[in-house]
Structure 1
Amino acid sequence: MHVPRRRRRLAVTGVAVAALAATGLTFASANQALAEEGCEVDYNVTSSWGSGFQANVVVTADEPINGWEIKWNFPSGTTISSAWNVDWSQSGTAFTGGDVGWNASISSGQSREIFGFIGSGSSTAPGTFTINGDVCNGPSQPPTTDEPTDPGNPGGGDKVDNPYSGSQVYVNPQWSERAAAEPGGDAVADQPTGVWLDRTSAIYGNDSPTTGSMGLEDHLDEAVAQGADVIQIVIYNLPGRDCAALASNGELAAGEIDEYKNDYIDPIVEIQGLAKYADLKIVNVIEIDSLPNLVTNVSPRETATANCDTMKNNGNYVDGVSYAVAELGALANTYNYIDAGHHGWIGWADTNAQYDNFNASAALFGSLIGENGMTADDVHGFISNTANYSALEEPYWAVNQNVGGQALNQNPNLPWVDWNDFNNEKDFTEAMREELIDNGFNEDIGMLIDTSRNGWGGDYRPTGTSTSTDPVTFVDESRLDQRFQKGNWCNQAGAGLGERPQADPEPWIDAYVWIKPPGESDGSSELIDNDEGKGFDEMCDPDYQGNIRNGNNPSGARDDMPISGHWSSEQFQELLENAYPPVN
């Protein structure tokens, strides 16, 4: 599959500030932008009344356009009731329009009204327009000069297509020291891992086992001292955090959105924007295990929890994530990747909305565009499998494979597959990326996959395809992922280290990363009092026999585990032993 690898910044009249595409491998060389063909879109609201409005769309082309398809993402709640001179469709917030033959051509330098429409809802202009897959950047620009980038100026520098390409990524010395102290751990102690800001005090350093005495600025200074090009920061402190679990609940109550913005996000933005970090590419992984909960764990679904219903109704997940992405995305040296769950959570695409997780999640992500000034350009990509265990690929079986006379993902008696459209993260991220683009994100977004604990090596790893004709036996004997159920997420026994971090493993994947530091717990095996706001979740109890969210299967969790984020020597040793590729 060909994936465009140029990342662009939006320049649409009256909508956003222009910036140029980046082509260098490091941030320091990002000012060497290339001129490119341009187009400009004017979204003109000609009249409005009550909840309705009329608008027309004008395109100005630098180079001739012969046949056009235009896409954008409306503000949440805006819909088109009728349109003229366009072949159009709308799915959620995503709008797609095509020429109708006679209006297909736009000459070089020509401004042409291509169609008009009547809509209801917000008349605010969309943040991003694409024509024939390319973001309309405004007129072509000459090459920029070598002026230094000012991180405090959103237009002061260009972002590279893939921050990981050719880059040295920061190694957290606190995690590295723990890993190296374990027998055999020195073999992986030089791997880069994520720095988790899981409480407001973590920004400044709080002497906790989770973050140690180093605060954000300490880590950024250390990254500069290491000569690193990239540092990975986990933004993880939403109000009402992890509404469907308890092990990693946070410090902020469901309604404390102002505290999240003012006391947590704003200081992070201020620190990351300091001039001394202008040449450091800061990857921000934004709020894991948050937004998909608003699809899968809310009423009227049987999997609903009261906490997730609260967070959907108060809007603070959407408000908080969009605010974080917009504020961090305005800095010239940051790269935002929003958490997109994993295939075992949102891998179901179904025409029945009650069972559709995949398309509904992508639409929810798209609805963030326009909230708190967030644009598609503020999102560099998405990350899957963060702190989870889903296999990177399953080489010995496919979900649509026919076994026993029926496709595996159509078999009502096959609990492991359970009608899921995917069985691995590679296929899932490739498909999810396309769906996200269809919901308003830029066509050159990249994906990350957390491979820190999804290797599934060791004695139980199969070496070939099962010969059984019984579907259940066939899948159980063929699959790498050894969990009882792919919704199991806490300290999974038998897991191993996965692929080592690397850039550009596939055309659509920016990098395999270790965002979850191997050896750090997902949650305590039993209730442990603590001052970090971490609760006890039965999914971390090895004796727990499950609930509706994991198909009423055993939890598969390890015993004798500390609270989330704290170190477990036993778990680290098991991850080393079951690593795949093996640790030499």
Structure 2
Amino acid sequence: MKFQYSALLALAASAYAAPPTQSIKEVARQASAGCSSAVTIDASTNPFKKYTLHPNTFYRKEVEAAVAAITDSSLAASAAKVADVGSFLWIDTIANIAKVEPAIADVPCTNILGLVIYDLPGRDCAAKASNGELKVGEIDKYKSQYIDPIVTLLKAHPNTAFALLIEPDSLPNLVTNADLTTCKDSASGYEEGVAYALKSLNLPNVVMYIDAGHGGWLGWDANLKPGAQGLAKVYKAAGSPKQVRGFSTNTAGWNAWDQSPGEFSTASDAKYNKCQNEKIYVDTFAPLLKAAGMPNHAIIDTGRNAVTGLRKEWGDWCNVAGAGFGVRPTADTGDELADAFVWIKPGGESDGTSDSSATRYDSFCGKDDAFKPSPEAGTWNQAYFEALVKNAKPAF
């Protein structure tokens, strides 16, 4: 469901990374210029009321390159505005930790840098398009070579605020795909890894949200309580870190915030899922999370959910054809439990390849409602990006 950055992005990152001769410790000594003093985020309050989600430099450069390739001047003008929208930066490999330092460089004191922590061993155990670099059992490598260096970098920049989304898809997969051998094998590593990330990244200038799928995933009646208990279990195993604010929903997803009746409300099995939009899901899941002993405020990905009625089934997740950019990041959600609408998935980067002969091909990317042709996960798809701009609501 998620992605790895393309080789092109990796090359771009290397241009901004610290020289090869510098170690993580040497980079860590470089002071941040974000604020004039150390940032302390009160995770008992909504951080997005104070900070604006930062338009990270890597997505900006992707968008700028895409705009340069558009010949329609009107479309190009609209597309150029996407670069100024705040979005999360995915740290989806050990190598991509090199992106953190340059991404911090232009973050003003009024902004918060969003980072997706996404590299668990056996990652995305129920999908093929976004499997990770670490094998099942490599939990020590996850801790020492992935989480620990990120901690070092964030500690080196106490004057910058960070919002972290912790491991998309991981804990939800343990609820709904527990019968798969790949997920059974990954379960203990997921729980241990997420707990370690939460405990280690519990820094004063950080606020964290744990991924909780979406209303079409954990929103089913049978999944709600186990889902909440699963998140809370790991949160408690981490020592109930105070910088955890709650959960994230609709990451890289397509669900509407408050559409009523819901997109799949007429489906034959709709009676088993009352969470027919993300607002209902947040308002239903949050109390269960609180009852299980965990903070329960949410952020919702609205990056690509402007158009509904496109999917044939709720579970269709790959490059949905006809999608459009959604509501821009804002703390004005109209729901006290919803901290902010945010852009998590970088719109324009593929969810997975439609080439059925590819090693990482996932059948969901070949479905009738998936955009074709589409390249490997994380690779830029110019045609899809242009469609997102054309179909944006509100329009750019």
1:417: Cα distance to partner? 2.8
Q: TM-score, normalised by structure 2?
A: 0.83
2:186 and 2:86 map into 1 onto residues whose CA distance is 33
Partner residue, 1:482? 310
Q: Which has the higher contact order (CA 8 A, sep 6+)?
A: 2
Aligned length, in residue pairs: 352
What does residue range 71-110 of structure 1 map to in structure 2 within 5 Å? Answer: none
Partner residue, 2:162? 282
* Structure 2: gaps spanning 5 or more residues: 1-33, 68-75
Partner residue, 2:212? 340
Partner residue, 2:229? 363
Q: What SS does structure 2 have at the residue aligned with 1:357? A: helix
1:177: Cα distance to partner? 2.8
1:233: Cα distance to partner? 0.3
Amino acid at match of 1:424: N
1:188: Cα distance to partner? 2.1
What does residue range 206-245 of structure 1 map to in structure 2 within 5 Å? Answer: 215-223=99-107, 226-245=108-127
1:177 and 1:420 map into 2 onto residues whose CA distance is 40
1:187 and 1:297 map into 2 onto residues whose CA distance is 39
2:196 to 323, 345, 351: 323
> Higher strand fraction: Structure 1 or Structure 2?
1
Partner residue, 1:565? 378
Partner residue, 1:491? 319
Amino acid at match of 2:246: G
1:173 and 1:217 map into 2 onto residues whose CA distance is 11
- Please tell me whether residue 441 in structure 1 is matched to residue 254 in structure 2: no
What does residue range 242-257 of structure 1 map to in structure 2 within 5 Å? Answer: 242-257=124-139
1:173 and 1:368 map into 2 onto residues whose CA distance is 32
2:235 and 2:381 map into 1 onto residues whose CA distance is 40
Partner residue, 1:41? none
2:51 to 143, 161, 167: 167
Q: Conserved in 1, the CA contact under 8 Å of 2:252 and 2:304? A: yes
Q: Conserved in 2, the CA contact under 8 Å of 1:228 and 1:280? A: no
Q: Conserved in 2, the CA contact under 8 Å of 1:241 and 1:250? A: yes
Q: Conserved in 1, the CA contact under 8 Å of 2:118 and 2:168? A: yes
Partner residue, 2:184? 309
Amino acid at match of 2:297: G
Amino acid at match of 2:189: N
Compare CA radii of gyration and give the structure with the larger one: 1
2:247 and 2:52 map into 1 onto residues whose CA distance is 21
1:511: Cα distance to partner? 0.7
Q: Which segments of structure 1 move beyond 3 Å, counting only runs of 4 or more?
A: 156-160
2:251 and 2:149 map into 1 onto residues whose CA distance is 24
1:228: Cα distance to partner? 4.6
2:51 and 2:303 map into 1 onto residues whose CA distance is 19
1:451 to 291, 302, 307: 302
Could you say what the CA RMSD is over the residues aligned between the two structures, in angstroms? Answer: 2.3
1:379: Cα distance to partner? 1.4
1:169 and 1:194 map into 2 onto residues whose CA distance is 8
Q: What SS does structure 1 have at the residue aligned with 2:170? A: coil
* Structure 1: gaps spanning 5 or more residues: 1-26, 30-147, 205-214, 300-304, 350-355, 400-407, 457-479, 543-553
2:242 to 357, 367, 377: 377
Amino acid at match of 2:354: S
CA deviation profile, 1:377-425 (whole Å, cap 9, x unmatched): 2411110000111111213x269xxxxxxxx96x8xx347362112111
> Higher helix fraction: Structure 1 or Structure 2?
2
1:446: Cα distance to partner? 1.9
What does residue range 56-205 of structure 1 map to in structure 2 within 5 Å? Answer: 149=38, 158-159=42-43, 161-180=45-64, 181-182=66-67, 183=76, 184-204=78-98
- Please tell me whether residue 522 in structure 1 is matched to residue 351 in structure 2: yes
Q: What SS does structure 2 have at the residue aligned with 1:368? A: helix
2:35 and 2:62 map into 1 onto residues whose CA distance is 32
CA deviation profile, 1:209-256 (whole Å, cap 9, x unmatched): xxxxxx211111232xx4552000000000000000000000000111
1:483: Cα distance to partner? 0.8
Amino acid at match of 1:343: G
Q: TM-score, normalised by structure 1?
A: 0.57
1:390 to 255, 259, 269: 255
1:336 and 1:308 map into 2 onto residues whose CA distance is 24
Moved more, 362-371 or 242-251: 362-371
Q: Conserved in 1, the CA contact under 8 Å of 2:43 and 2:242? A: no
Q: What SS does structure 2 have at the residue aligned with 1:511? A: strand
2:336 to 497, 507, 518: 507
Q: Conserved in 2, the CA contact under 8 Å of 1:376 and 1:441? A: no
1:359 and 1:160 map into 2 onto residues whose CA distance is 23
Partner residue, 1:296? 176
1:528: Cα distance to partner? 7.2
1:324: Cα distance to partner? 0.3
Amino acid at match of 2:344: I
Q: 1:514 to 1:441 in 2, by over 3 A?
A: same
Q: What SS does structure 2 have at the residue aligned with 1:380? A: strand
Q: Conserved in 2, the CA contact under 8 Å of 1:168 and 1:230? A: yes
